[in-house]
Amino acid sequence: MADHSLHKSFVLLFLLVVVSLPALAQQGTALVLSGGGSRGMAHIGVIKALEENNIPIDYIAGTSIGAAVGAMYAAGFSPQEIEDIFTSEDFRRWIAGDLNRSYSWYYTSDLPDAGWIDLNLQFKNRFSKVLPSGVKTPVELDFQITRLLSDASAVAGYDFDNLMIPFRCVAADIDSSKALVLRHGDLARSVRASITFPFLFTPIKIDDRLLFDGGMYNNFPTDVVATDFSPALIIGSKVSGNYPKPSAEDVLSQVQNMLMSDTDFALDSAAGILLEPNLPKVNLTDFSLSKVFVQAGYDMAMQNMPQIKARIAGQRSAHHVDSLRRQFNARKQPYLIDSVIISGLKPSETEYVYRTLTHRKDKSTLDEISNQYFKLAADDKLKLNGNHLKLNPTTNLYDLYLDLHPANPFTLTLGGNISTRTANLAFAELNYRKLFREALRLKLNVYFGRFYTSALAGARFDFPGKIPFYAGGLIVYNHFDYFKSTIHFIEDVTPSFLIQNENFLDVYAGIPLTVNGRLEADFALGRVQNEYYQDNAFTRSDTADRTRFDFLQSSLCWELNSLNRKQYASAGARFKISTGMVWGDETFESGSLSSTRPSTGKFHRWAFVDLLWDDYFEKLGPVKFGFYGQIHLSNQELFSNYTSSLLAAPAFEPVPESKTMFLLNYRAFNYGAAGLKTVWSPTRNIDLRSEAYLFQPYRSIRKDADNLAYFGDPFDDRYWIFSSAIVYHTLLGPVSLSVNYFDNPEEKFFIGLNIGYIIFNKSILR
């Protein structure tokens, strides 16, 4: 009887275990976070609401921005810490691919030009001879993701199951055209792969596979958590949808549909709960509404909280979660870098990199090495494809791995300016870069326009080391035709025929002084030849007066520059002080209308000091203020006549349009100028600018009855410039509509629409 009872008990126990197996297999709550660009900020609000209401999050999977948010939570960041990072101005800059100005090594930068777009010339590949190089490598984003997540990877032993919360990340494998689930490896690189939207960021390789945004093939990985974790409940946060059918007129919609596969966003009510906050449509990279999206995600989770609580078996207090977080974070090691390991370069090229990094300490913190990292990123001879930190079990220190490649040797830059006035320019530049123990850059460029024509050939060598320096040379031809730069003349006051030709050879060398500064010495040899009539009563048969000035100049310049744009800047500062000497012979040849002597010659020698300060301050409310100041001092003497003296005088040109006109009131041998600027940016790409400047010459250059020049009384004259502009910053360059006022003898108000840059090649004496 006892044996029969025992047998019966075993049978009942076996049946109970069999019946319970499915329930035992399904345990815990999984959170799935979809892709969706900036709208993914709603995921943060969802996590915040779940944690506040003691809802356990046992597993996380995410795609694209969902992978980034989920990885942060799995790596031990609190919801508030995640929100603070993702809603910061710094994060917006990382996503935009813009470097913090404190990291932008001005020492390595080239002279500004009118370029819109850089094209890589691929001579080896006949299929694609010319490829745009405009896709950004988000250098600072890569660095910050590494800083935020690498220590958690090390704690987990590079196994995502061992993070504070088991995690899955979805990327797209282009070679197999399939979604790739990342379960182990470097957490930072996995997230970087998952957020790599095509044509926005450069892709990265993991295990020799080229990976892109996981949303291309699986934008809502509920199937991943079901397969890997078999949770009892899936909470899905959905902030995206499939793209609409392509339109014949909309090229972007066609590209999106070619790249992105449709995702099944349905979530069976038996398996889970779908949270779909109502969010406005915005650009993928527009994070201006981040806080709004966070709140929308929080509100949606709170609306569904009764339903969520009814579906979970038990709760986990926020205090308990915080305790787990502290325990996990306590195991993280501070970043001490032992070795820097370079891949992707030849031995001589690798030596160039190590010489660039040569003055780092044996054991550097990540902050200490960051300046050198961004110095490499700013070097246009190199392409930084990625980085990662890995804990070395032997040394118990981190090794920094840098994936570097030589930049494409040949690039073609195209640009210019399209104007409703006369500042129409076409610009093209061919660059060649070669990397070995040192670095070489060669360039040729041309400008064509009604007002301005120029050609330049240049070479520069960079020598890395404990005290890096560069040396180079330029040969430049500049031609300014002021006769064609003014639409009409109202009075016979300003000479209408003014042509200035400048040819020079410039040899220079420099060293860096701080991240944003450099000290440069140069020596120039050249000729300026001006052709002009000194009044407007000339005919086609008349010959113009000519002034030729053969010169030597030596100068020393210290410059700090952190301005955020090469034209229409709205942040940063520029400080420049230069001093030098000029020696030269002036030769004047009179034309058919000249009343002065047929020809004269004169030797000139003068010293000069020029001080410039251009600074944008922090915002006061929605408006940013700026200050501009300039002082030019010299002992320069007058030339042989009034017009040649004006052409030889430095010009005050604080706004782009002033560079295209011969404004005689803003030229002097000694002057001071100051201005105030306001910039209001209703969106990231639109600026409304207002600027006012006062120009104070020490002694104005004046004309007597014989067209000879003489100095006016000290501080007798002063002139104003007022400018207002609406500027839209496109990917190619600025589009501006401006109204300018100049204290001009004839026209005072100028209205113009410009598309592009009013930037010229270097000039020595202009």
Q: By C-alpha distance, which of 667, 562, 574 is closest to 627? A: 574
For 82-86, 221-225, 532-536, which range has the lowest pLDDT when averaged over its residues?
A: 532-536
pLDDT bracket for residue 13 (50, 70, 90): very low
Report pLDDT digits (tens) over 415-439. Answer: 999 999 888 999 999 999 999 899 9
Global pTM value: 0.83
Interval 681-703 mean pLDDT: 95
Given a cut of 50, is residue 127 above it in pLDDT? no
Given a cut of 80, is residue 687 above it in pLDDT? yes
pLDDT bracket for residue 246 (50, 70, 90): low
H or E element in which residue 169 lies: strand 167-173
The first and second tokens of residue 493, run together, are 């006051």
Mean pLDDT score of the chain: 88
For 62-66, 219-223, 377-381, 731-735, which range has the lowest pLDDT when averaged over its residues?
A: 377-381
- For 28-97+137-330, CATH number? 3.40.1090.10
pLDDT bracket for residue 202 (50, 70, 90): confident
CB 734 within 8 A of CB 566: no
Report pLDDT digits (tens) over 250-279. Answer: 555 555 555 655 566 778 878 899 999 989
- For 336-406, CATH number? 3.10.20.310
- Give the torsion through C-alpha atoms of 672, 678, 681, 682, to 10 deg: -160
Q: 429: exposed, middle or buried (C-beta count within 10 Å: 0-12, 13-18, 19+)?
A: buried
Given a cut of 60, is residue 14 above it in pLDDT? no
The C-alpha atoms of residue 328 and residue 319 are separated, in whole angstroms, by 14
Q: Which residues pair with 135 in a beta bridge?
A: none
CB 69 within 8 A of CB 95: no
The C-alpha atoms of residue 42 and residue 49 are separated, in whole angstroms, by 11
Q: Where are the domains of the chain?
A: 28-97+137-330, 336-406, 410-756
Report pLDDT digits (tens) over 358-377. Answer: 655 568 888 888 888 888 88
Q: Which fold has domain 410-756?
A: Porin (2.40.160)
